[in-house]
Amino acid sequence: MKKINCTFLITMFVMLFFVGCGCKQETVRYSLNSFEKSIIPYNETKLLEYKDENGEIIVATASKKEVLTQSLNEDEGCVSTIIESEFFDFSFNNLNINLFVKIEKTYNNKTTFEIRDNNIEGQVPSYLYTFDNFDVQVSEQDLTNISIDGFEYTGVFIFKLSPNSTSTDSKFETIVFSPQQGIVHLKMRSGGYLKLN
C-alpha cells in the first residue's frame, strides 16, 4: 500500500510539474477605434499645394496611408500583444522638409498621435499631440478650434514642438492637422507659415 501511494504521488507530482509549466497562449489586441482610423485622410498618394506668407505656391506630397499590425512581444511568453497603427510620409518637394505622421495604439490601449521631422535625429517625436487624459482613446471631443496667422480652423488637432525635443533644427512651431484634409497649416519658428491652398 505504501509503495502504491509513493508511486501515485510521484506520478501526480510529475504530471503537475509538466502541466503547470505550460501556459495557454493569450492574445491581447489593441486596435484603433473607428474615429482614430478616420483621422489620416490620405487613401492614395496626393500632391498638395501650400501657400506661404508671401503668396508663393509650394507643392507637397502626402503618401498613401499605410496600416500596420505588429506584435510587441520579443519572446515566446504566454501573452501576445498586438497593436495597430496608421501612418504616412509628408514632404515639401522643393524644401528640405520631410515629416512622418503616425497614430498608434500602445500598451494598455493608449493612443499616441505624433509627427516626426525626419530631418532631425533622435527618438523623441518632434511634435506631439498631447491629450488632456492620455488614458482614453482619441475621440471627436479632442478636436479644437484655433486662430493662427490670421486664419481660422475648426475641428482640428494642434501639434506643438515637443518640450522633450532636443533639436533646435526644427522648422515649425505649430502644426494644424485636420481629419478631413490632413496637415492644413504649418507655423514656422522664423515667423512665416505654410497654409493648405
CB 86 within 8 A of CB 105: no
All three cell numbers of 132, joined, read 488632456
The tens digit of pLDDT for each residue in 10-42 reads 776 666 655 555 666 677 788 899 999 999 999
- Helical spans, DSSP H, in the chain: 2-21, 34-38
Average pLDDT, the chain: 82
147-195: per-residue pLDDT in tens?
999 999 999 999 887 666 555 667 888 999 999 999 999 999 888 999 9
pLDDT at residue number 83: 87
Which is it for strands 127-128 and 111-117: parallel, antiparallel or unpaired?
antiparallel
